[in-house]
Structure 1
Amino acid sequence: MDGWNWITVLLIAVLVLSVLQGAKRGAAGSSRQLLALGLEGAGTAISILLAWRVTQWASPLAGDWLVSLGIVIPSGELNVWQQLYYTFITSLRDFSLMRSAILFVIAYSSIKGLLNRIALPLLNIRLGDAMRSPDQASASQWASAAVGGAIGVATGAVRGLLLIAGLMVVGALFPDSPVSAQAANSPLYRQGAERVITPLTGNMLSRLPVFTQSVQTEMDQILKRKYEVLDAHVPEDVASAALEITAGKETDEEKAKALYQWVGTRVKYDWEKVRLYEEKRIWKEQTPEDTFLTRTGVCIDYSRLYAAMARTVGLDVKVVTGLGSDGRGGTGSHAWNEVYLGEKQTWVPLDSTWVSSGGNWFNPADFYKTHIKEA
C-alpha cells in the first residue's frame, strides 16, 4: 500500500503505544504524564530561546575581551598542555561559531537547571509520580482507562511530532539518505511536517545544511590553528636554512620566491604516505622539521615547511586548504600558501608542491582556476 513504509509504521506504533500506556495509567496518571511532557517541552523551548538570546549578546563581548588580552602564540617550544591551551584560547577568540556554541551550552545548561530547580518544585510536579501513582480520580476503572487512552492520543501526537522534527533534521542534513526518501513517502510524516513543524520552525531547518557547512569550515580552520601553534617554534636548522636561502634578497617578493623554489625542488612528494591514508586510513603526521630532514611530504607538509621558513625571515604567510586540480578534469583535497608582499601591499598565492610538475605556481594570473579555497 502506497505510503506504508517503516516510518509510517513507526509513527503509528508511537501513537498506539501511547494510547495503551495511557489506558494502563488511567485518567489521573495520564494527565500527569501529559502535563509533565508539556512542561518539559516548554522548559526546553524556553531554555533554548533564552540561551540563544544570551549567546547573541555575550559572544561579541567575549570575543572583544579575548582580543583585548593580546594573546600571542609563543615562538618557543611548547609542551602538550601549552599547545592545547593556545589552540583553544586563540580559536575561542577568532572563531565565532565555536565561541557561540560553548556559550550556548553553558547558558542552556544553567537556565534549564535553574528551571528544573525552581519552576518544577513550585508547580509541585514530580515526574516519577506519573509512572507510580495509582489512579484515584475515577470510580470506574474502565472509564478511567478510556479517559487515559484518550489523553494518550494527545501524548502520542506530541511524541510523534518530536520524532517527525528529528527526521526533518536528518533530511535537511542528509537529503540523499534512505531515511529522507522513506520520510518523503510517508503521508503521516508529510502531514506533521507541513502542517505543524514547518509553520512553527519557519526556515530554520532548511538552513541547517548551510550551518553544518559553516561548522565544518570552522573545524578545518581550528585544525589549521593547531598547526600554527605547533609550527610557531621553528627549529634552528630550519631557521638557518631559511636565512641562508634568502641571503642577499632585498624585497619580500624575492625572499618568498627563493623559498618557494627551494621547498618545491628539494622536497619529494611522498606517494607512500598518500597510499597509506587512502587504503588504510593511516595518517603519518609530521612537523616542518620532519619534512626538512626527510625531504619528503605531501601538500600540507610542503605548505607548513614553507610557512615556517617564511616566518623565520619576517614574511607574513598563511597555509591555505581547499581543492586543487588533479589534471584529469577533477579536483582533490590540497594545500598551498599565500604570502604578503609588503612592497606591493597584497597577498599572493603560491604552490610549492606543484613546482616539480612544471610551470610557474608563484602568483600566476590563473592560479585560482586550478585552486579552490575553502569557503
Structure 2
Amino acid sequence: MHTWVQTLLKPEPVALMVVLILLVSLFSGMRRGASGSAKHLFFFIWQAATVVVSLLLAGRGAVYASPFVRDWLIDRGITVPKEDLSALKQFWFTAVTSLRDFDLLRFGVLFLLLYSVLRLLLHALEPFVFGLVDGVLARGRAGRGRMAESPLISGTASRTTGAMIGALLGGGRAFIVMACLFVYVSILPHAYGTDIIRASALYTKTASELLNPVAGDVLKQGPVFTEAVEAEFRHVLERKYDVIDAAIPPNIEEAAAAVTKNSSTDEQKARALYSWVGTRIAYDWDKADNYTEHGIWKEQTPTETFTTRKGVCIDVARLYAVMARSAGLEVRVVTGEGATGDGGYGPHAWNEVKLTDAGGEWIPLDATWASSGDWFNPDGFSKSHIRDA
C-alpha cells in the first residue's frame, strides 16, 4: 500500500488525473450521504457488469453467427449489375459483398449489432432493478432513523459512510481509466501521448501488477489486430472500386476487344492489355504532387483515365481491371506499398489476374511501371511490391 501511495503522489499527468478522480468521488460521496452513495455505487457496478456481459456474449455470438451469415449471403448469389449504379446501390452492393467475403468486417458488424441489442435489453431491466435497490435502501434508512440517537450523529455517520463509498467508487473509475490507457498504449504504441503515459510510474505499476497478468497476452496482438483492421478497411475500398467499375463503357469494351483479338489464352490477353495500358497511360505527376504537397485528391473514373490518357497508379490499375473484365478475365485491384528506388516504400496500386485456363493461378502485374521494365509477373515481384495483408 505504501508504494502505491508513493506512486500516486508523484506530480505527473496520469497520477494527477487519478488523484482528481478520487477527490471528486470522495467529496461527491460525502455530499450524497450513505444511501445516495450506495445507490451510485450499485449503478456503477451494474453498468460495468452489463458492459462486460454484453461484450462477452456479443463476441461469442458473432463468432458463432459469422459462418452462417457468410453462407446465407453466398446462397443469395449476389452479383454486381454491369450497369451504372446510383450512389445508394453502390453502397448497398459494396456493403453486402464485403460482408460476404471479408471475415473481420463481418465479425465486427455482427459484434456491434449483438452488443447494441444486449445493452438495450439490459437497459430495459434497469427500472425494475433500481426500483428494488431503492426499496432496500429506503428500508435501511427507516431502520437507521429509528435507531439514531442524534440527528447530528446520524448525519455525520451518513456523510462519513458516503465519503468511504465515494472513495471506493472513485477507485473503480480510476481503474477503468487506467485500463483504457492500457488498451490505448497496447493497440496504438506509437500514437499521440503514449510516451507520456508510459513515463508515468503509476501507470507502469498498474499495468505490470494488475492489467498485464490479465490482458497482456491478448493485447500483445494489439498492433497486429490494428494492422488487420486497416487492411480490411483497404479491402473494402478496393471492393468499392469493383462495384463502381462494374459497368464497362462501350469505347473501353471495344478497345479491350481490339487489344486481345489475337490472344487465345488468359495469359496472352493479360499480357496484351498490360502492354497497351502501360504504353498509353502517362503518369499524372501534377495529380500526385497536388496530393502529396497540398492534400488534394481528385477521384477519377476509368473512363476519365482512358480519355485523358493519364493517371496515377490507382487510376491505371482500375482502367486495367475494367479492360481485363471486358476481355473475360478475372482481375482485382491490389493496394499496398511499392519500392521508391531510394530504399524506401510508398503507397501503390497494381493488379492481379487469374489464369483460369492454366490451373487458376493468380499472377501480379504493374502497368504503371511498364515504362521502367517488364513488370508482368516477373521473378521477385513481391520484393518491390508489398500488398496489404
TM-score, normalised on structure 2?
0.90
- Summarize the alignment of residues 1-375 of structure 1 with structure 2, pairs less than 5 Å apart: 3-118=10-125, 120-124=127-131, 139=151, 140-177=154-191, 179-345=193-359, 346-357=361-372, 359-375=373-389
State whether residues 30 and 159 of structure 2, in contact with CA within 8 Å, keep that contact through their aligned partners in structure 1.
yes
State whether residues 36 and 125 of structure 1, in contact with CA within 8 Å, keep that contact through their aligned partners in structure 2.
no
Structure 1 residue 169, shift from structure 2 partner: 1.7
Q: Deviations over 1:55-100 (max 9, x none)?
A: 1111111111001111111112212221111111111111122222
State whether residues 338 and 349 of structure 1, in contact with CA within 8 Å, keep that contact through their aligned partners in structure 2.
yes
State whether residues 66 and 110 of structure 2, in contact with CA within 8 Å, keep that contact through their aligned partners in structure 1.
yes
Structure 1 residue 120, shift from structure 2 partner: 4.9
Structure 1 residue 230, shift from structure 2 partner: 0.8
State whether residues 268 and 295 of structure 1, in contact with CA within 8 Å, keep that contact through their aligned partners in structure 2.
yes
Structure 1 residue 270, shift from structure 2 partner: 0.2
In structure 2, C-alpha distance between the alignment counterparts of 1:296 and 1:125, rounded to whole Å: 71
State whether residues 11 and 188 of structure 1, in contact with CA within 8 Å, keep that contact through their aligned partners in structure 2.
no
In structure 1, C-alpha distance between the alignment counterparts of 2:126 and 2:242, rounded to whole Å: 47
In structure 1, C-alpha distance between the alignment counterparts of 2:380 and 2:112, rounded to whole Å: 44
State whether residues 245 and 302 of structure 2, in contact with CA within 8 Å, keep that contact through their aligned partners in structure 1.
yes
Residue identity in the other structure for 1:23:
M
State whether residues 33 and 160 of structure 2, in contact with CA within 8 Å, keep that contact through their aligned partners in structure 1.
yes
Percent of paired sites with the same residue: 42
In structure 1, C-alpha distance between the alignment counterparts of 2:289 and 2:192, rounded to whole Å: 31
SS of residue matched to 2:338:
strand
In structure 2, C-alpha distance between the alignment counterparts of 1:344 and 1:67, rounded to whole Å: 26
In structure 1, C-alpha distance between the alignment counterparts of 2:225 and 2:318, rounded to whole Å: 29
In structure 1, C-alpha distance between the alignment counterparts of 2:213 and 2:269, rounded to whole Å: 59
SS of residue matched to 1:124:
helix
Count of residue pairs the alignment pairs up: 369
State whether residues 188 and 222 of structure 2, in contact with CA within 8 Å, keep that contact through their aligned partners in structure 1.
no
Residue identity in the other structure for 1:323:
E
Structure 1 residue 110, shift from structure 2 partner: 1.4
Structure 1 residue 190, shift from structure 2 partner: 2.7
Residue identity in the other structure for 2:347:
S
Q: Flag the 1:88–1:164 CA change in 2: closer, same or farther, 3 A.
A: same
SS of residue matched to 2:65:
helix
Structure 1 residue 125, shift from structure 2 partner: 5.6
TM-score, normalised on structure 1?
0.93
Farther off after superposition, 22-31 or 135-144 = 135-144
In structure 2, C-alpha distance between the alignment counterparts of 1:162 and 1:192, rounded to whole Å: 11
Structure 1 residue 163, shift from structure 2 partner: 0.4
Residue identity in the other structure for 2:311:
G
Q: Deviations over 1:93-140 (max 9, x none)?
A: 11122222221122112112212213551452689xx9xxxx875742
SS of residue matched to 1:203:
helix
Farther off after superposition, 155-164 or 210-219 = 210-219
Q: Flag the 1:126–1:267 CA change in 2: closer, same or farther, 3 A.
A: farther
Structure 1 residue 9, shift from structure 2 partner: 0.5
Structure 1 residue 13, shift from structure 2 partner: 0.9
In structure 2, C-alpha distance between the alignment counterparts of 1:113 and 1:126, rounded to whole Å: 20
Q: Flag the 1:122–1:36 CA change in 2: closer, same or farther, 3 A.
A: closer
State whether residues 353 and 362 of structure 2, in contact with CA within 8 Å, keep that contact through their aligned partners in structure 1.
yes
SS of residue matched to 1:332:
strand
State whether residues 337 and 347 of structure 2, in contact with CA within 8 Å, keep that contact through their aligned partners in structure 1.
yes
In structure 2, C-alpha distance between the alignment counterparts of 1:273 and 1:171, rounded to whole Å: 37
Q: Flag the 1:213–1:294 CA change in 2: closer, same or farther, 3 A.
A: same
State whether residues 269 and 298 of structure 1, in contact with CA within 8 Å, keep that contact through their aligned partners in structure 2.
yes
Q: Flag the 1:32–1:289 CA change in 2: closer, same or farther, 3 A.
A: same
Residue identity in the other structure for 2:300:
Q
